Amino acid sequence: MLAQLTACLLAPHLPISEKELASAIEIPPRPELGDAAFPCFTLAKTMRQSPQSIAERTADAVNGTDEGVRAETAGGYLNLFFDPAVWGNRILTRVMAGDYGRLQDGQGRRVVIDMSSPNIAKPFGIGHLRSTMIGNALANVYQAAGYRVTRVNHLGDWGTQFGKLIAAYRRWGDRALLEAEPIRESLRLYVKFHEEAESNPELEDEAREWFRKLETGDGETRGLWRFFVDESLKEFDRVYARLGVRFDLVLGESFYNDKMEAVVDRLTELSLLEESDGAQVVRLEELGMPPCLILKSDGTTIYPIRDLATAVYRKKQLGADLLLYVVGAEQTLHFQQVFAVLGKMGEAWHADCRHVPFGLMKFEGKKMSTRRGKVVFLDEVLDEAAAKALQVIEAKNPELENKRETAEAIGVGAIVFADLRNRRQLSVDFQLEEAIGFEGETGPYLQYTYARILSLLRKGKYEEFAARGKAAEGRHMSSPAAWACLKTASRFEESILQAVRENEPSVIGRYLLELAKDFNRYYNEGKMLTEDGEETFGKLSVAAACAKVLKQGLQLLGIRTPERI
């Protein structure tokens, strides 16, 4: 907001549009350098003056107005200092408006987000958390920016992995065990297949044959596959409900089986398919990439052709203007190839396809692998986090109502925030004890700060003050700590747009930590509830603004905000 206010203030004095000005405004790293700064260097050529001269001339113009703003220069920088007594209430009014944090930048555009995408018949481990929650947060921030969002769960319900699972079941499976614990028994069979295949490579051929039967519609094989899919969906839906994640479409890879032939025909028509060792590929050497495999030598499909069909469906049937794929960084080459093939097919919109990669997640230093059975079940981690949160509540506020529901919200929030506070392309070594702490850069710290503010507002009867309809006096919101809170709260909408530009939910996470720290410094600065009702109302108004933005920001990240902890 300060960037927009500064741009509006400077536009009459500079030969540059308000929009261009707003994008160039910087927030100085220290308050003594100003509340906002404009670097004049880019105007030197246009105005045929030195940056210093431009800054000095513009500072004189600003200081000649009665706007409650003081301008200073430092080299080619124009530094602006806003009077909190004048501007504090203007910022507060905007932050407390009902539409604050709901933008229109993406109006009229649809973004389809491919997120979560677990594999059928495998456990929902903590490794699945990243795609799920990064995708969920991105869907929320795009929606806040005004886009129409379609959340798609692209289930891994097809491919050679099912040939392996069926082969394992045929050799070592027990129907009673499978029906009793379908996911864990499927994992056991999948792991056993890979263990046995190390000494018996013929198992791989057997698995390929079972997948061929699946693709050609063998009834018995299809029936077993359907069982794996249905049982997996039950498990996934339960975990998603716990995480607070929803989807607009849940479509497995198998959904696109009848849509791949059209893509193959198009590639053939364009003479893009070439034979290579019996397989059919699209060559991409001119783009510095290896060939993209379309059909294997036995005629069965592979995931590039399914992803090509998927992209075409999302563009032409779902009406996507932007396609995002929230998938691990190890798939970077795959998506580069898929997007390149779309380009060679003449689909100009391939430039609107984005892979949103993320780094590996380890759990307490250990890398996870489904093939080797090294899976940490997400449910078990969430259970442990909620149990630890409940212990804290029992120790600090044993009379709290709905303790278990609150502990669940804190536990799940701790796990989610431990991921989303990091830039997505970094690898994450998840440490449960650190994540669940109520101090430091954690989800519980943010949730507790929010609950603390609400407790303060209740004690200070803020709602009674606000009901009078009278604005808080700016002089009661002018301390450096109060002004820091308001300035940070005013940057919420800018953080949303930055998160969209970078496809980076951690922008919101880091922003919320900054806001919470600013509020806690303000809270510890001095007495909030005073003998003077107007002073109390002014201080509580700053607190209420922080609470509103904390709640909105945590909701964007998919984290609940208990009102009492």
Same CATH topology for 2-82 and 378-556? Answer: no
Residue 106 DSSP one-character state: T
pLDDT band of 369, cuts 50, 70, 90: low
Question: Mean pLDDT over all residues of the chain?
Answer: 93
- Tokens at 391, concatenated: 């212990």
pLDDT of residue 126: 80
Rounded to an integer, the average pLDDT of 395-411 is: 95
CB neighbourhood size of 201 (10 A): 9
- Of 68-77, 157-166, 517-526, the one with minimum mean pLDDT is 157-166
Assess whether pLDDT exceeds 70 at residue 373: no
What value does the mean pLDDT take over residues 402-411?
96
Look at 349 and 232; give whichever has higher pLDDT. Answer: 349
**Does the pLDDT of residue 374 top 70, yes or no?**
no
Distance, in Å, from the CA atom of 306 to the CA atom of 313, rounded to the nearest integer, reads 11
pLDDT at 458: 97
Exposed/middle/buried for residue 514 (C-beta within 10 Å: 0-12, 13-18, 19+): middle
Question: Would you place residue 147 in the very low, low, confident or very high pLDDT band (cuts 50, 70, 90)?
Answer: very high
Q: What pLDDT is stored for residue 127 in this prediction?
A: 78
pTM for this predicted structure: 0.92
541-552 pLDDT per residue, tens: 999 999 999 999
What stretch of H or E contains 429?
Answer: strand 428-430
Adjacent-strand bridge partners of 36: 80
Calculate mean pLDDT across residues 416-436.
91
Q: What is the mean pLDDT of residues 339-347?
A: 97
Residue 240 tokens read as 């998603």
Which value, to the nearest 10 degrees, does the dihedral of the CA atoms of residues 474, 479, 480, 484 take? -50
Q: Once rounded to an integer, what is the mean pLDDT over residues 315-325?
A: 98
**Domain 110-363 class, CATH top level:** alpha beta
In percent, the amount of the chain with pLDDT more than 90 equals 79
Give residue 260's pLDDT: 94
Mean per-residue pLDDT for 487-513?
Answer: 97
Instruction: For residues 565 and 127, give the distance between their C-alpha atoms in angstroms, rounded to a whole number.
Output: 29
Backbone dihedral angles phi then psi of residue 34, each to the nearest 5 degrees: 120, 170
Q: Which of 138-152, 292-306, 378-392 has the lowest mean pLDDT?
A: 292-306
DSSP string, 266-323: HHHHTT-EEEETTEEEE--GGGT-PPEEEE-TTS-B-HHHHHHHHHHHHHHTS--SEE
Residue 370 has pLDDT above 60, yes or no: no
Quickly state the pLDDT bin for 371 (edges 50, 70, 90).
very low
Highest mean pLDDT among 14-28, 146-160, 287-301, 503-517: 503-517
Can you give the residue ranges of every domain in the chain? 2-82, 110-363, 378-556
Residue 299 pLDDT greater than 90, yes or no: no
Average pLDDT over residues 238-263: 94
Asked if residues 43 and 54 have their Cβ atoms less than 8 Å apart, the reply is yes
First to last CA, the chain: 32
Q: 216-238: per-residue pLDDT in tens?
A: 999 989 999 999 899 889 989 99
Residue range 27-54: average pLDDT? 93
Pair 51, 40: CB distance under 8 Å = yes
Residue 136 is predicted with a pLDDT of: 98
**Phi first, then psi: what are they for 323, rounded to 5°?**
-115, 120
Please answer whether residues 545 and 232 qualify as being in contact, where contact means their C-beta atoms are separated by less than 8 angstroms. Answer: no
pLDDT beyond 80 at 491: yes
Angle at 496 between CA 495 and CA 502, to 5 degrees: 85
Q: What is the largest distance, in Å, between two alpha-carbon atoms of the chain?
A: 87
CATH class, domain 2-82, is alpha beta
pLDDT at 367: 59
CATH number 1.10.10.10 given to 378-556? no
Instruction: Give residue 470's pLDDT band: very low, low, confident or very high (50, 70, 90).
Output: confident
In sign, the C-alpha dihedral spanning 498, 503, 504, 508 is positive
**Measured between alpha carbons, how far is 4 from 90 in angstroms, rounded to an integer?**
13
pLDDT at residue 365 in the model: 61
Whether residue 434 is predicted with pLDDT greater than 50 in this model: the reply is yes
Segment 473-488 mean pLDDT: 93
SS3 category, 148: strand
User: What is the H or E stretch that residue 220 is in?
Assistant: helix 219-243
